[in-house]
Copies of this chain bind each other. A is one copy, B any other.
């Protein structure tokens, strides 16, 4: 593909162009808005109708949404998820007893206790997108909103400029469709919103080709609605049928099964007693149902469909179909005819499965049908200039509530890296870690879904029965679910050694793959820092440590000097740190532009292990409580990790992190909350911290922040986006 040459077309520049405004694209946009990087986000849809109606928010996603506002920062719309979503407390299993009667066969906590301060909630995807859009406006000072309907037509990378960090190396031709009325996918049923879109896959390429052909060949073409956007980076968050992915020539790997499921969002009228719990229901031989209670009175049902019309032309003869999905042969039975799937058909299947309980529906909100399959993209970027994320990288069955979550986490990983590179704070190299970190997660996800969806779709084994030779053992199924919930929570994602993660000071990985640090024996390096309470030295308020590590683009160096009263030598060490950290050639100053506040890039926080009543703030060196150019003191860099609280019980972050109160430790946390490195508490440890940043940060000596200036006269400075450039 080449860029258009018609001289009448307008040209513009932006650092990052995001194509696709679903949760994945919106998360990237939120990061860039928060960090103050110039960007645009376009979507071909003219409104918020969306093809996927996800609803589950996992623990890690809730942690991340919260991290954009913390506990003291301005309230953002993203805080609403935890409040408004339906909290999932318990999962109930139902399966046939010895007589084939449906009985409750088990109960497990829906979220593993202690894994996070949040539990899974369920809330309509439409709310989440709305909250993201509000947050983007909030963080960008109303400068950025989703531009729609905008269609991308052409993308080209100037490969010779790809290594030049400041180059606008990518060109994208886009068309403003607002005058065209082309953008609405047709729906099968006008009466009820549904997910059965008539995809114009086959005609799509021709359609795009025609649009740009006219532009090039017709001297009288109307060029007004076209624009060439020159960007440093492009992100394709444009869904399972990603246009960007196709432009990069990447094919998905994966397979489609013969299992077909329907989905209903409605208010059930039923005497089934667990309808407000998440349930897995295996009937004797009518298939399975999954129940997901939602906000208000809605319940989502995933229902296995027994008899569905299929397209014989898409049938393959292979015993189990595996391979390229562009091959039109879908499975041994053939692709389903989605136009035959109606709410009534789906309900009928549910009624069979849930017998003898009654089930009728009212207030139907949405329905769809799908054939289970798992696909993953083997590559997530091209030349570290064009990236894909979310459904463009991985698709699977929706029942585990993973799709939207993993899609948001893709760009939560990429967003801060793009921001650091666009600002000239970090080297281009860090962008390579996006694929290396997220491709592994996508493959784990596919394997997880592959296993779980087959157990869910299989017939159950009848207890104490020898007549059924095959079948899914329900005890095994419950155990798989419990284990699966750990993965599904999103909290055990583990990033490997890379330019951004240094596992050198760790034990051999344990059976769960956790590489615990020598110096903080309960902190696995490469995973998100689990939160604990710490107490501000200045006012004694208990804070979740993660609320002090907000998603604002900064790295954090957490210094744990131990108990400075019981071990006065630890305080001496801390005093030595003061000079080290003030030195121009050490990390704290070296990577910070001269006109930025001192903790704008790397925020150093000290958490001691002495009861805060036994020490005074002025016992500690200046760097733990510095003053700014006006003499205003920053009181929020010094904490006690231990002690009683008046309202929240006893606190011991040292115990929780496995840090010795005599030896101490230093922990580096990435802007996305993952532990980069743990090292020892001494000057050598500080050198190690410096070496870590040396690998990818760009010295800023003499550099000033280029575009937006930091409002240094702002008393809100400790809570406002400091990295805004």
Contact = CB atoms under 8 A, between A and B. Distances in A.
Interface in A698-725: 715-716, 718-719
Nearest to A118: B647
B630 A540 contact: no
Interface stretch (A75-83, A238-246, A524-532): A75-83
B297 A90 contact: no
A718 B635 CA distance: 45
Interface string A153-176: 000000000000000000000000
A80 B75 contact: yes
A277 B537 CA distance: 10
A111 interface: yes
Interface residues of A, number: 52
A632 interface: yes
A542 B88 CA distance: 11
Contacts of A633: 269
A109 B646 contact: yes
A618 B362 contact: no
Interface in A605-643: 613, 616-618, 627, 630-633, 635
A124 to B, nearest CB: 12
A160 to B, nearest CB: 49
A646 B89 contact: yes
B75 A541 contact: no
A71 interface: yes
A360 interface: yes
A293 interface: yes
A180 interface: no
Nearest to A89: B540
B297 A632 contact: yes
Query: Which of A107, A539, A716 has its CB near the most chain B CB atoms (within 10 A)?
Result: A539
Contacts of A298: 715
B89 A72 contact: no
Contacts of A84: 72, 74-75
Given A277-B540, A632-B297, A75 B71 contact: no
Interface string A532-547: 0000101111100000
Nearest to A635: B276
A273 interface: yes
A651 to B, nearest CB: 13
Contact of A90 (B83, B109, B646): B646
A296 interface: yes
A558 interface: no
B630 A296 contact: no
A49 to B, nearest CB: 20
Contact of A362 (B362, B632, B635, B647): B632
A541 B363 contact: no
Query: Which of A89, A298, A632 has its CB near the most chain B CB atoms (within 10 A)?
Result: A89
Contact of A631 (B72, B89, B269, B538): B269
A304 interface: no
A119 interface: yes
Given A83-B79, A541-B89, A618-B271, A296 B718 contact: yes
Contacts of A715: 267, 296-298, 363
A684 interface: no
A71 B83 contact: yes
A84 B70 CA distance: 10
Contact of A296 (B109, B540, B716): B716
Nearest to A69: B83
Contacts of A632: 267, 269, 297, 362-363
A113 B362 CA distance: 47
Contacts of A459: none
Contacts of A646: 89-90, 109, 111, 113, 119
A87 interface: yes
A89 B640 CA distance: 15
Nearest to A115: B647
B613 A107 contact: yes
Interface in A288-324: 293, 296-298
Interface string A631-667: 1110100000000001100000000000000000000
Contacts of A716: 296
A717 to B, nearest CB: 8
A335 B695 CA distance: 69
A618 B71 CA distance: 41
Query: Which of A79, A113, A269, A296 has its CB near the most chain B CB atoms (within 10 A)?
Result: A296
A167 to B, nearest CB: 40
Nearest to A83: B75
A360 B631 contact: yes
A616 B273 contact: yes
B540 A90 contact: yes
A635 B276 CA distance: 8
Contacts of A647: 109, 111, 113, 119
Query: Which of A90, A275, A276, A616 has its CB near the most chain B CB atoms (within 10 A)?
Result: A276
Interface in A105-140: 107, 109, 111, 113, 119
A146 B117 CA distance: 40
A163 B107 CA distance: 60
A74 B83 CA distance: 8
Nearest to A266: B715
Contacts of A627: 269
Contacts of A297: 632, 715, 718
B74 A538 contact: no
Contact of A79 (B75, B109, B635): B75
A646 B88 CA distance: 11
Contacts of A90: 539-540, 646
A570 B269 CA distance: 29
A363 B80 CA distance: 33
Nearest to A646: B109
A88 to B, nearest CB: 8
Nearest to A535: B89
Nearest to A112: B646
Contacts of A296: 715-716, 718-719
Given A90-B646, A276-B538, 7 more contacts: A87-B541, A111-B646, A267-B715, A269-B627, A273-B618, A276-B635, A362-B630
Instruction: Give the top 8 A-B pairs by smallest Cβ distance, nearest first.
Output: A276-B538, A269-B631, A276-B539, A109-B646, A89-B540, A90-B540, A75-B80, A89-B541
21 contacts: A72-B84, A75-B84, A87-B541, A89-B540, A111-B646, A113-B647, A119-B647, A267-B715, A269-B631, A269-B632, A273-B617, A273-B618, A276-B538, A276-B635, A277-B539, A297-B715, A297-B718, A298-B715, A362-B632, A363-B630, A363-B632
